[in-house]
């Protein structure tokens, strides 16, 4: 009963926090007094509802979603595989580490502009998403491998424990928290950089393209509505991932 009350209070607290920041937004909008600079929450909601009845709105979300998922999945696959290999092999780590540092140090805008030269507009966001998420996944995978207990590995070797059992009982429990943290961080980043790449590459149907169009025509309510869509989708992705991980850990 106490647990239920705590959970209920947490939900109420979250709702109150959201209401508080919406109120701050409304007050700021009233103080500025110009919709072109800061539209009110009500006008933003109206713009969102107006957009949501168009097929372009849902097609743009769907294609941006596909770009994010494609870039993110590629970064996870390559990041985890190469991270594990580099964590186990010092030479390969030293070989790949400078490249990862270079990617981390390069401004996102520079990568987007370079990608515009290399790829068609629809593929630029996928490439940028992959390149920005990869270093996070790779670094966490390497760190997870390095944190594997050497004593446990030595003991497993002495007792001639089956390799598959070593992987399941030693490596996976060690690397999992690092991968979960890395993937969670990369999820939010993936949405931001993909939409940023869409703003510059401007594919036919995309959230970023619609953001750019709203800015050009000074449709601030639409601009805030599309921004809200990105925030909601990013939160939803992160929540879904954490929910799946929580369910897996139960079993």
Q: What is the pTM of this model?
A: 0.80
Averages of pLDDT over each 10 residues, the chain, 251 residues: 55 79 82 78 86 88 90 90 85 88 86 87 88 90 77 62 62 77 84 88 84 81 87 83 71 59
Whole-number pLDDT of residue 249: 61
> What CATH code would you report for 37-250?
1.10.3720.10
What residue spans of the chain are helical by DSSP H?
Answer: 2-32, 41-52, 55-88, 90-105, 108-118, 124-146, 150-158, 163-166, 172-201, 207-216, 220-250
Whole-number pLDDT of residue 157: 63
Whole-number pLDDT of residue 28: 82
Whole-number pLDDT of residue 149: 63
Whole-number pLDDT of residue 156: 61
Contacts with 149 (C-beta within 8 Å, 6 or more apart), sequence order: 170, 174
Please tell me the distance from the alpha carbon of residue 128 to that of residue 114, in angstroms, as a whole number: 10
Whole-number pLDDT of residue 199: 87
* Domain boundaries defined on the chain: 1-33, 37-250
Whole-number pLDDT of residue 70: 92
Whole-number pLDDT of residue 74: 92
Whole-number pLDDT of residue 162: 59
């Amino acid at each position: 009963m106490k647990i239920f009350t705590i959970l209920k209070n947490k939900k109420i607290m979250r709702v109150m926090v959201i209401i508080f920041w919406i109120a701050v937004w409304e007050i700021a909008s009233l103080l500025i007094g110009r919709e072109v600079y800061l539209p009110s929450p009500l006008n933003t909601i109206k713009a969102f509802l107006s957009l949501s009845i168009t097929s372009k709105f849902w097609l743009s979300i769907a294609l941006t979603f596909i770009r994010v998922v494609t870039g993110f999945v590629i970064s996870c696959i390559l990041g985890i595989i190469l991270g594990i290999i580099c964590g186990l092999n010092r030479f390969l780590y030293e070989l790949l580490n400078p490249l990862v540092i270079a990617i981390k140090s390069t401004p996102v805008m520079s990568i987007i502009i370079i990608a515009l030269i290399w790829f068609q507009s629809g593929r630029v966001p996928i490439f940028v998403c992959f390149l920005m998420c990869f270093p996070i996944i790779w670094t966490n995978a390497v760190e997870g491998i390095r944190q594997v207990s050497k004593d446990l590995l030595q003991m497993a070797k002495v007792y001639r424990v089956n390799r598959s059992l070593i992987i399941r009982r030693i490596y996976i429990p060690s690397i999992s928290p690092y991968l979960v943290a890395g993937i969670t961080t990369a999820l939010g980043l993936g949405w931001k950089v993909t939409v940023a790449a869409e703003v510059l590459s401007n594919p036919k149907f995309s959230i970023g393209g619609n953001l750019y169009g709203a800015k050009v025509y000074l449709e601030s309510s639409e601009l805030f509505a599309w921004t809200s869509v990105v925030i909601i989708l990013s939160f939803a992705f992160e929540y879904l991932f954490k929910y799946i991980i929580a369910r897996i850990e139960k079993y």
